[in-house]
Amino acid sequence: MARARGAIVPLAMLVFLVAFPTLVGFAGGGVTLAARILVLGLFGLGVDLLFGFTGLLSFGQAAFYGTGGFVAGYLLIHHIVPSTILALAIGMLVAAVAGLVVGSLALRQVGVYFAMLTLAFSQLFYFLDNSPLRELTGGENGLPGVPRAEVFGIHFSSLQETYAFIAIVYFIGFVVMRRIVASPFGHVLRAILDNPIRAAAAGHDVYRYKLVAFTIAAAYAGLAGGLLGLFQGYLPPDMFTIDQSGQIIVMEVIGGPGTLVGPLIGATVWIYLSQVLQNIGAIGSLWKLVLGLVFVLLITGFRRGIAGGVSTFLQQWQRREPAPVPSE
């Protein structure tokens, strides 16, 4: 019974991923929009592990998003690695190593200091990409010509097929992340979120746990970066910017931290606000102002975002029935 319950969420996610382009289509978007949202959703899974489950607010995740993207893209463009999967994996690995290095320095501090340091380190990556590594990364021009995915002889050449590829990767990432947060490791992270001092007193090496979480988040960011290259065919240098780091944080908070699907919801809201409002002449340029106001309102009043609000509502609604035995 418990196992059957555990399969409901992944199944629902699978159904959702299949239906998503159609839903986006009804709402006036294309499959590109759906793919973009999924990439950010995957990126956000790592951010949610960091912020939603561990309480670490990193303002430098763009560094790993860009690193993973550019490494994978470079390998594919220059045919250094024949397989898409291998290139994505190497990009992910390099991003994870970068995360390990940055994390080992930034995690020496907590709270405000940690946020400032991640931001500063991501600027280091931005400037590395822009100047000294210009020859490799294309500097301000970015990297064009990333080929579409090819796995075991199957070509994901059209946009629809690329969406399918991204959806498969997202699904695997989602299921793996569900396992991570449900594992004993994930429980320690939540203990750190609740009270780092108590977690340390209980004998957990808080720094090590945070570092592992930070590295995993960097790996997710790197993988998402690689996927962006696949469907855009192009890697823009602004993957490394502060705005990119801020964007994913805003999506996380709007969607709902600690819910895993939060960033997906946040990304949908962000992208729809920018696309839909932009088409309404007079207030088109104000979409980001609206977003900023919504964001401040959510932090001030509804700390758990959209997904958190919905789940609270559902729990209260369920409570009318006889209370079920807690499954955990």
Partner 1 sequence: MHLIEAQALNGLALGAVLSLVALGLTIVFGLLGFVNFAHGALFMVGAYAGWVVYSQTENFFLAMVAALVVTFIVGLVIERVLIRMYYRRPPEDQILVTYGLAIILVEIVRAIFTGVTRQMPTPAWAAGTVQLAGIFYPQYRLVLIVIAAVTLAILYVVLFRTRIGLIVRAGIDDALIVNILGVNVNRTFLLVFALGAAIAGFSGIVDAPLLAVNPDMGTDLLVQSFVVVVIGGVGSFFGAILGGLIAGEIISLTTAFAADYSSVALYAAMALVLIVRPQGLLGVEGRA
The stretch near partner 1 (CB under 8 A) out of 86-94, 206-214, 243-251, 269-277 is 243-251
249 binds partner 1 (CB under 8 A): yes
Among positions 85, 120, 154, 182, the unique one binding partner 1 when judged by CB under 8 A: 120
Q: Is 111 among the residues that bind partner 1 (CB under 8 A)?
A: yes
> Which burial class, exposed, middle or buried, applies to 206 when counting CB atoms under 10 A from its CB (0-12, 13-18, 19+)?
buried
Rounded CA-CA distance 119/124 in Å is: 9
Contacting residue, 176, 202, 293, 314, with partner 1 by CB under 8 A: 293
253 near partner 1, rule: CB under 8 A: yes
Q: Could you say which of 81, 168, 286, 310 contacts partner 1 (CB under 8 A)?
A: 286
DSSP β-ladder status, 143-144 and 234-235: antiparallel
Report d(CA 246, CA 270) in Å as an integer. Answer: 12
Q: From CA 269, how far away is CA 233, in angstroms rounded? A: 24
Stretch that binds partner 1, among 32-40, 170-178, 215-223, 246-254 (CB under 8 A): 246-254
Q: Which uninterrupted H or E stretch holds 292?
A: helix 287-301
Q: Which stretch binds partner 1 (CB under 8 A): 20-28, 210-218, 244-252, 308-316?
A: 244-252
CA-to-CA dists, residue 108 to 63, 117, 161, 206, 216, angstroms = 19, 10, 44, 11, 18
Interface stretch with partner 1, choices 9-17, 168-176, 209-217, 285-293 (CB under 8 A): 285-293
- Cα–Cα distance between 101 and 54 in angstroms, integer? 19
Give the footprint of partner 1 on this chain (CB under 8 A): 51, 55, 57, 59, 105, 108-113, 115-117, 119-121, 123-124, 127-128, 131-132, 134, 242-243, 246, 249-250, 253, 285-286, 288-289, 291-293, 295-296, 299-300, 303
